[in-house]
Amino acid sequence: MSANLAFFPRIPIGFRSGRGIGEAFARTWDRFRWIGGVISMRRNLVEMDERMLKDLGISRAQAEFELSQAPWRTPPY
């Protein structure tokens, strides 16, 4: 019995635009590295004392709120 491929959508992974799987993997790996950096920065932010937070212009509550956010939720830069 052969599978009816009409029910399986084709998922583009960059072949049509001239990109290969290697580039898709590189973009995914970069995103994981970015998320790891965000996690590290948020932990460092919460470990700062009040003077350091004041120098940055944020409160303790804002720092703790930032830590509570999901790592993939970052402001657009």
- Note the pTM of the prediction, 2 decimals: 0.59
Q: Which residue has the higher pLDDT, 57 or 4?
A: 57
Backbone φ and ψ for 3, nearest 5 degrees, come out as: -80, 140
Residues 11-68: pLDDT tens digits? 555 445 556 778 888 888 888 888 888 889 889 999 999 999 999 999 999 999 988 9
Output the pLDDT for position 1: 45
Residue 28's region, left for phi above 0, alpha for psi from -120 to 50, else beta, is: alpha
